[in-house]
Structures are given as C-alpha cells and as structure tokens.
Structure 1
C-alpha cells in the first residue's frame, strides 16, 4: 500500500510530470522510429506495428504532460499504458528462449516506471489546483496622463471626422449630434 504522507509536494509532482513527459517523448520516438530493433532485442518479432502504436501513445501522453497545467489525467493515462505494455511483454513471444531474459529485464523496467507513474499520478491527483478566474490587475495603473485641470476641455475643439458623424437621417430632431 502506498503511504500518502510520503507523497511528493505539488511542485515536485508537477516537476515529476514534466520529466515523465520528456521520458514519454523519448521512449515514444524510439518505439515509433525503431520498432524492428526493439522487437528483435526483446523477442517480440512480428509485433512492430503494435510497438509503433505504443510509441504514438507515448508521444501523445508526453505532449499532454508537457502542455497541461493539470497533469493527473495524463499521468493516469501513462499508468494505463504501462499496464498494456506489461500485458504485451507477458503475452508476446517469438519462441526465442534467448530473448526471455531481455524481455524479463524490459518488464522489470516497465514495472519500475509504473511505480513512478502511480506515485506521480497519486501526488498530482491530490494536489490539483482549482482553475483561477481571470482577473485584471490594476495595481500598476498610474491614472490619468496629465493633471485633470490641464485635460479639462481639451476635446472641445476636436473636429469629428466625416465618417464618424451621424448620418443625416439618423440625427436627433434637435439638429445636433454631429
């Protein structure tokens, strides 16, 4: 059982999520662009398409983690992806007993990353910050450009451009309004 009192703080959880996002991008790129080498190494020949799909999933999750302010859903997505990866590694085999050790090592690595993903997801889930409402800050406002006495009556002599005047048919009955 995980001890919630030893979970990372909010800032640590967000930093961990960003690190896992970069890790997802790197792993996804390797799976997407070198599936044959990976499948040959761990004894999953013939599963290149599946490995590429996992790579696309990793890249999507990595982008999500790097661009969001609330990483918990993306971290839980990583956990679900880790479960799929473990199932693929456990079920898949090309019959090569030589690669069984490499596949076991890959499973151990995925289990380690899964533990990290679960800890980060739990920490981020407990530290979600509520969305802040958009407020305008007037604390740096300096006020009017000049003293009120100097600005008073300044626009009295202004000439209104012709395209900004009331059309003749829309003018009030008193004849003013230009």
Structure 2
C-alpha cells in the first residue's frame, strides 16, 4: 500500500516538473496580451472579421486597451495576480461576446467564432493556471536567515582551535642550511662567521 502511495507521489511530482513554470507562463501571457491589444487597436475591423463577430471599431479598440493594460501590468508589477485575474474576466467577456454575436451571423462566420471561442478557452485555462499558481507562490512567507552566522560554533569556542593541532608543512619550514641564522641565540656557525668577518676587516 505504501509503495502505491509513493509511486503516486512520484508520478505527481514528475507531472508537476513537466508543467511550465507559472512565472514563465505569466510573462508569456503578458507579451501575448500586449501583442493582441496592439492588433485590436490598429486593425479593429480585421480582428473582428477574423474572430467572426460583428462589433464596432470602438468596442474592439476598448478590448485592445484592456489587453494592453493587463499585459503591461503583468510584466511590470511585482504581483501580477490581479492582472492575471483581470485577464480571466476579460476572457469571460470575450466568450460572451462571441456567443452573442455568433447567433446573428452566417454559417461561415459562426465557424470562425467557434474557432475563436476555442482559442479563448485555451488562453483562459492558461490565465487561471498562472493566476492560481502565482498566488500560491506569493503566499509562501520568505525564509528568515537573520539568526544564522555561518559558523558551526561560537567565536569564543573556535578561537585558537585551528592552532591546537597545527603543524607547519615541511615545504613551509626554514631550510636546514638557514636554521642556525634564524634561531633566537646565535649559534656556533653564526659566531664563527662573525669572527671570520672581523679578521678580514682587520687585515
């Protein structure tokens, strides 16, 4: 029984890892929203014809402004959740517009409206996914590391610990030939060298 639960949990984690990250989805939706809004502002009649709906240029430009505002908010804000939920509301408005307009259109236009509605539904699913996952990520409190110093023990306990069993490496020691000249008291070799120097100076 436990093995089944473990396998299910592993499968859920693998599926979660395969899903796109909410931040990446949100940024993509932001750029998509800006591009769609610009197209609706620049060519409102063409966008209405592609969607298979009969709506005025003013209404289509209003939709374009809404898309641009949501896209800029998603990309520029530290908390894109409100703008993502605004996109969800806009998707519902778009679906309602398509449903109302398609009843008064020809069969060809109704087919275009159905395709546009399917596309809007897919985008709406991405909007809901990004809004929910971003909300969960933002609700996690930040980790507090203020009580950590990076040391295993207190400074008083570590003071002098490195010198307790320290031994100078051989390659860092004074060479044997120079050892008589580095000790505190002058050695016989150093005294003999001084005497020879004095004798040479006197000569």
Residues 107-132 of structure 1: CA deviation (Å, up to 9, x unaligned)? 00000000010000000111116798
- Max radius of gyration: which structure? 2
Q: For 2:118, which of 84, 108, 111 is the aligned residue?
A: 108
Q: For 1:30, which of 24, 39, 42 is the aligned residue?
A: 39
Paired position in structure 2 for 1:120: 130
Paired position in structure 1 for 2:180: none
Rounded Cα–Cα distance in structure 2 between residues aligned with 1:46 and 1:61: 22
TM-score of the pair, normalised by structure 1: 0.64
Q: How far did 1:7 drift?
A: 6.3
Residues 72-118 of structure 1: CA deviation (Å, up to 9, x unaligned)? 11111110110011111111145322211111000000000000100
Paired position in structure 2 for 1:84: 93
Change (3 A) 1:131 1:55: farther
Change (3 A) 1:131 1:50: farther
Quick check: 97-106 or 34-43, which moved more? 34-43
5+ residue gaps in structure 2?
Answer: 1-11, 143-203
Change (3 A) 1:46 1:16: closer
Rounded Cα–Cα distance in structure 2 between residues aligned with 1:111 and 1:55: 18
Q: Secondary structure at the match of 2:97?
A: helix
Change (3 A) 1:84 1:129: same
Q: Is 1:65 aligned with 2:84?
A: no
Quick check: 46-55 or 81-90, which moved more? 46-55
Rounded Cα–Cα distance in structure 1 between residues aligned with 2:79 and 2:116: 30
Q: Is the contact between residue 23 and residue 62 of structure 1 (CA under 8 Å) also seen in structure 2?
A: yes
Aligned residues between the structures:
128
Rounded Cα–Cα distance in structure 2 between residues aligned with 1:37 and 1:68: 31
5+ residue gaps in structure 1?
Answer: 133-178
Q: Greater relative contact order (Cα 8 A, min sep 6): structure 1 or 2?
A: 1
Rounded Cα–Cα distance in structure 2 between residues aligned with 1:131 and 1:31: 40
Of Structure 1 and Structure 2, the greater helix share is in 2
Change (3 A) 1:113 1:129: same
RMSD (Å), alpha carbons:
2.5
Paired position in structure 2 for 1:43: 52
Q: How far did 1:69 drift?
A: 1.3
Residues 125-167 of structure 1: CA deviation (Å, up to 9, x unaligned)? 11116798xxxxxxxxxxxxxxxxxxxxxxxxxxxxxxxxxxx
